[in-house]
Structure 1
Amino acid sequence: MLPEALARQILQDHAAHPRGRGEIAGAPHAALDNPGCGDQVTVWARVEGGVLAGVRFAGRGCVISQASASLMTQALEGRTLEDARALAARFRAVVMGEAAPDPALGDLRALAGVSRLHARRRCALLAWRALDAALAGSGAGAGEGEPGRA
């Protein structure tokens, strides 16, 4: 687990200066919203040869949802689909309080504290659910996603 001050700093930095923001023209994407708090996110995923060659997002919302989307793009771009799915599963388990954060998550560990805040779990997982939907529509596991509920 990261020290609380460091985790807060990572989240604030990613929310204020998001990485991976912007769309990927022609790439499969999916849009989701969290009706409980108003967060919205669209995720684009380009898969080439079984590798996530591009992952980008656009959206608005709380620090947690936006930081999670930014961290996700950095953590997953360039990974094989199998590796990306395994990392996503570890991340989800940590956010849901089912597993302790492990160093393989890198800066994603900054979101581990969300597991104690049931209502904020949806914020942390919103972009990840949109990525799942985009990949499902791409034939990798394309299409244009319509806004949906998270």
Structure 2
Amino acid sequence: MPKGAGKQIAQNKKARHDYSIEDTMEAGIVLKGTEIKAIRGGRVNLKDSFARIRNGEVFLHNMHISPYEQGNIHNHDPLRTRKLLLHKRQINRLIGETKETGYALVPLKLYLKDGFAKVLLGLGKGKKKYDKREDLKRKEANRSIQRELAHRQKGM
């Protein structure tokens, strides 16, 4: 999380598995009424969400915010498209980088910072199946090395 970030609400664990993240940036979200209360309650899912740039603005699609229990008629559609707040130069940079094939904007984390909901957006390139297998092998090798080191230190 960026420096000074507050309480983490949700994380997209599959994002780093499916994409090799090359750059990250923080963005605010435009929310309506009861959505922030549902977010504070931790009722958010980033699993299949993604961001798109349209007409010089960035929008977050498929982020599921469950309806707030006490919201009754004031609740909103859980999967509605939400606008992300970024500076114009950040958006222009993202437009240039996403024009390259294979790059996607993926939300990595959702957290509260100074009372505002923020999204950590990652600019990533989709991994191929063999890249994912390579990463899993590397992780398993590192894990076994750490286990062996811990076992040797215990023996001393």
TM-score (norm 2): 0.30
Structure with the bigger percentage of helix = 1
Structure with the bigger percentage of strand = 2
TM-score (norm 1): 0.30
Instruction: Say which one has the larger Rg.
Output: 2
